[in-house]
C-alpha cells in the first residue's frame, strides 16, 4: 500500500500563541562567590543605615557632651541624619532612572562609609551636623525609588522647619518667634506640597494621584506614623536618661535596652508566618493596647532606678516591642498591598518615609515637654525630674492608643485585595506554565489531513 502524500492545502491552520518571556533572573548566571559578595555589600549598606539611626540613640548623650550641645539641641544628632533621609528617600530613584542603578548604589555606599569615618573625627558641632546630613543623602542612594526635585525640596524644608520649631521650645519658650515662625511656615508648606504633587503629571509626582482614595489608606497612614512616634522617643529618652541621670556608660545603656532588640528579632520572625497578618483590624488595635500599656509602665517607672528597672522597664520593653513589631510588620505588608502593583516600589518607600516622619515628630514633641530652659544646668535638672518624661510618655501612649481605636473603627478588611502576594505569585507562575504548554503544543503540532 502506498501512503498518500498529505495535501498541504488542506492542512488546518495552527494558531500562533504569543508567549510573554519569563522574567530573567540577572543574578542566576553569577558564581556563588560574587553572589556572596553582593549579599555582604547589601547587608553592610543596611547596617550603616541602622547605625546612622538606631545607634545614634545610644550615643546621643556622649556625642552631645563632646560637641557642647545642650539637651534641647542634642536631638539634632538624630535629626541631622533622619530628616534628610526621610525627605530624600524617594528622590534617589530619579537619579537611578538617569544613570546605572549599580553606579548609584556604589556611590551612595562608598560616600556614606567615607563620611561616617570622617564624622568620627569631627569636634566642631556645625561641621558634625552638616556632614551627618550629607551622609544621609548618600545613604538614600542605597535605597532608591523615584520622585521629583521640587517635591523633595518642599518635603525637606517642611520637615526641617517643623523640627526646628519644636527643638526651640526647650531653650526659648512657647512664645518665642524661633518657635512660632518655623512652625507656621512648615504648616503653610504642607498644603503647597500637596498641591504641587497633585498638579504634576502621572508618573512624575512623589506619590500616585488619587492615593488617598486607595482602600483603607487613612487608618494605615495613621498607624504607620504613630508607631514610630511612640517607639523612637521611648528609645531616645531612656538611652539619654540612663547616661545623663543614672550615669551609666554607653555599653551598660546598650545592655539595658537590649531586650527591645532581642524581642523585635523574635517577634518579627514569628509575625511574618502567624495569622496576625490575615486580619489587621484586630491585630493592630490589640498591638496598640500592648504599646499603650508599655508606655504606662514606663511612665510610672520613675526612671528605672535599682530594682525598678526589672519591675517596670524590662517588662515594658518586652510588651511594647511585641506590639510595635507586629504593627511594623503589618504596615510593611498591608500598606504596600493597598497600592496598585505598578506603584509597589513607591509604596515601599512611602512606608519608610512615614516611619521616619513619625519618629521625628515624636522626638520633637517629647523635647518640648522638658520646658523652656536657656541654662544647660537647668536642662539637666529638668531631665532628671521624671515628671517631664512621665508626661511625655503619657502623651505618646495616648497617641498610640487613639490610633488603635481609629484603626478599629476605620479599617475595612473587605476592601483589601482578595489575592495576597503569595496567591498572585502562584497565579503568575500558573499563567507562565500555561503559556509554555501552549508553545510546546505549537511546536509539536501534527498537520491534520482531510
Confidence of residue 15 (pLDDT cuts 50, 70, 90): very low
Q: What is the C-alpha to C-alpha distance for residues 252 and 244, in angstroms, rounded to an integer? A: 13
Q: Hey, how many other C-beta atoms are within 10 angstroms of the C-beta on 1?
A: 3
User: Which phi and psi angles does 166 have, rounded to 5°?
Assistant: -70, -35
Count: domains in the chain = 2
Q: Once rounded to an integer, what is the mean pLDDT over residues 421-433?
A: 48
- 356 located within any domain: yes
| Shared domain check, 253 and 166 | no
Residue 321: per-residue pLDDT: 93
Tell me the pLDDT band of 400, cut-offs 50, 70 and 90.
very high
> Are the C-beta atoms of residues 167 and 73 closer than 8 Å to each other?
yes
How confident is the model at residue 344, as a pLDDT?
63
Q: Which helix (H) or strand (E) holds 65?
A: helix 32-67
71 in any annotated domain: yes
Examine residue 328 and state whether it is found in any structural domain, yes or no. Answer: yes
- CB of 109 closer than 8 Å to CB of 139: no
* pLDDT at residue 378 is higher than 70: no
**Per-residue pLDDT, 181:** 85
Give the chain's end-to-end CA distance (angstroms, integer): 19
Domain that includes residue 259, residue range? 214-442
Same domain, 115 and 225: no
pLDDT for 188 equals 87
Residue 251 and residue 400 share a domain: yes
Rg (CA), the chain: 27
Q: Which of 87-96, 231-240, 327-336, 390-399 has the lowest mean pLDDT?
A: 87-96
- Residue 159's nearest CA partner among 110, 215, 225, 205 is 225
- Is residue 297 pLDDT above 90, yes or no? yes
Average pLDDT value for residue range 131-151: 71
Q: Is residue 12 part of a domain?
A: no
The CATH number that applies at residue 376 is: 1.20.1250.20
Helix (H, G, I), strand (E, B) or coil at 122: coil
What mean pLDDT, rounded, does the chain reach?
A: 75
For 348-374, letters b (16+ CB in 10 Å) and e give bbbbbbbbbbbbbbbbbbbbbbbbbbe
The answer to whether 166 and 72 have CB atoms below 8 angstroms apart is no
Q: Are residues 247 and 231 in the same domain?
A: yes
The domain boundary residue, chosen from 209, 242, 273: 209
Convert the pLDDT of each residue in 345-365 to its tens digit: 667 777 877 887 788 788 777
User: Is 203 found in the same domain as 137?
Assistant: yes
d(CA 376, CA 70): 6
Q: Is the pLDDT of residue 294 over 90?
A: yes
Indicate whether 340 and 376 sit together in one domain: yes
341: which DSSP letter? G
pLDDT: which is higher, 136 or 425: 136
Residue at 292 is within a domain: yes
> Quick check: 448 and 14 in contact, CB under 8 A?
no
In a domain, 64, yes or no: yes
Q: For 212-339, where are the alpha helices, taking DSSP H only?
A: 217-244, 250-256, 258-271, 280-299, 308, 314-338
Contact 256, 248 (CB under 8 A): yes
pLDDT at 430: 47
Closest to 325 (Cα-Cα) out of 266, 274, 273: 266
> What value does the mean pLDDT take over residues 197-214?
73
Task: Extract the C-alpha cell encoding 277.
Answer: 497578618
Could you report the per-residue pLDDT of 35-50, keeping only the tens digit for each?
778 777 777 776 766 6
Over residues 11-26, mean pLDDT? 48
At 121 the pLDDT is 85
* b/e burial code for range 88-114 (CB count within 10 A of at least 16 → b): bbbbbbbbbeeeeeeebbebbbebbbe
Q: Both 227 and 309 in a single domain?
A: yes
Name the domain boundary from 157, 188, 209: 209
175 has a pLDDT exceeding 60: yes
In this prediction, residue 203 has a pLDDT band, given cuts at 50, 70 and 90, of: low
Q: What is the mean pLDDT of residues 384-406?
A: 90
**Residue for grid cell 543596611:** 46
Separation between Cα atoms, residue 388 and residue 378, nearest integer Å? 13
User: Residue 348 has which C-alpha cell?
Assistant: 515601599
In contact, 171 and 115? CB cutoff 8 Å: no
Burial class (CB within 10 angstroms; exposed 0-12, middle 13-18, buried 19+) of 307: exposed
Q: How many CA atoms lie within 13 A of 204 on its CB side?
A: 7
Q: Is 62 domain-assigned?
A: yes
Q: Which of 84-98, 297-311, 328-342 has the weakest average pLDDT?
A: 84-98
Question: 29 lies in a domain?
Answer: no
Cell 556625642, located at residue: 63
Same domain, 316 and 438: yes
C-alpha closest to that of 15 among 424, 442, 443: 442
Whether the model pTM is above 0.85: no
Kindly state whether residues 195 and 219 are assigned to the same domain: no
Q: In terms of domains, do 263 and 377 share one?
A: yes
More confident residue, 435 or 102: 102
* 155 and 205 assigned to the same domain: yes
Residue 241 clears pLDDT 70, i.e. is over it? yes
Per-residue pLDDT averaged across 1-15, rounded?
47
Same domain assignment for residues 120 and 262: no
Q: Which of 209, 235, 251 is the C-terminal boundary of a domain? A: 209
Task: Give the span between the Cα atoms of 280 and 32, in whole angstroms.
Answer: 39
Q: Which of 331, 327, 294 minimizes the C-alpha distance to 313?
A: 294
Amino acid at each position: 500500500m502506498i501512503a498518500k502524500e498529505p495535501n498541504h492545502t488542506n492542512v488546518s491552520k495552527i494558531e500562533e500563541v504569543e508567549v510573554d518571556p519569563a522574567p530573567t533572573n540577572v543574578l542566576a548566571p553569577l558564581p556563588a562567590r560574587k553572589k556572596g559578595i553582593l549579599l555582604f555589600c547589601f547587608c553592610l549598606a543596611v547596617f550603616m543605615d541602622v547605625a546612622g539611626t538606631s545607634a545614634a540613640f545610644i550615643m546621643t548623650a556622649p556625642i552631645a557632651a563632646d560637641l557642647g550641645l545642650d539637651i534641647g539641641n542634642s536631638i539634632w544628632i538624630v535629626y541631622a541624619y533622619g530628616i534628610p533621609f526621610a525627605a530624600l528617600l524617594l528622590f534617589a530613584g530619579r537619579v537611578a532612572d538617569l544613570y546605572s542603578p549599580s553606579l548609584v548604589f556604589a556611590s551612595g555606599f562608598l560616600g556614606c562609609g567615607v563620611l561616617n569615618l570622617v564624622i568620627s573625627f569631627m569636634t566642631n558641632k556645625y561641621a558634625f551636623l552638616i556632614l551627618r546630613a550629607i551622609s544621609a543623602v548618600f545613604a538614600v542612594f542605597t535605597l532608591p525609588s523615584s520622585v521629583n526635585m521640587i517635591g523633595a525640596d518642599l518635603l525637606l524644608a517642611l520637615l526641617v522647619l517643623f523640627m526646628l520649631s519644636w527643638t526651640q521650645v526647650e531653650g526659648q519658650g512657647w512664645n518665642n518667634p524661633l518657635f512660632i515662625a518655623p512652625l507656621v511656615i512648615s504648616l503653610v508648606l504642607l498644603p503647597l506640597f500637596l498641591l504641587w504633587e497633585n498638579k504634576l503629571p502621572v508618573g512624575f509626582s512623589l506619590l500616585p494621584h488619587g492615593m488617598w482614595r486607595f482602600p483603607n489608606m487613612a487608618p494605615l497612614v495613621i498607624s504607620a506614623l504613630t508607631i514610630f512616634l511612640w517607639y523612637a522617643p521611648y528609645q531616645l529618652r531612656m538611652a539619654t536618661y540612663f547616661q545623663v541621670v543614672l550615669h551609666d556608660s554607653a555599653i551598660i545603656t546598650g545592655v539595658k535596652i537590649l531586650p527591645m532588640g532581642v524581642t523585635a528579632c523574635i517577634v518579627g520572625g514569628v509575625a511574618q508566618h502567624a495569622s496576625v497578618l490575615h486580619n489587621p483590624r484586630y491585630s493592630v488595635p490589640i498591638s496598640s493596647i500592648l504599646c499603650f500599656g508599655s508606655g504606662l509602665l514606663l511612665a510610672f517607672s520613675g526612671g528605672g532606678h535599682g530594682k525598678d528597672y526589672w519591675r517596670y522597664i524590662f517588662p515594658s520593653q518586652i510588651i511594647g516591642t511585641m506590639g510595635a513589631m507586629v504593627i511594623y510588620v503589618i504596615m510593611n505588608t498591608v500598606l504596600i498591598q493597598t497600592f496598585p502593583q505598578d506603584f509597589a516600589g513607591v509604596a515601599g518607600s512611602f512606608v519608610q518615609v512615614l516611619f521616619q516622619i513619625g519618629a521625628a515628630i515624636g522626638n520633637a514633641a517629647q523635647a518640648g515637654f522638658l520646658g523652656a530652659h536657656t541654662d544647660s544646668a537647668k536642662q539637666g535638672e529638668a531631665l532628671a525630674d521624671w515628671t517631664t518624661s512621665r508626661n511625655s510618655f503619657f502623651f505618646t501612649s495616648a497617641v498610640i492608643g487613639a490610633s488603635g481605636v481609629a484603626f478599629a473603627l476605620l479599617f475595612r478588611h473587605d476592601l483589601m485585595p482578595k489575592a495576597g502576594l503569595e496567591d498572585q505569585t502562584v497565579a503568575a507562575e500558573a499563567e507562565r506554565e500555561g503559556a509554555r504548554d501552549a508553545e510546546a503544543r505549537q511546536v509539536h503540532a501534527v498537520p491534520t489531513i482531510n
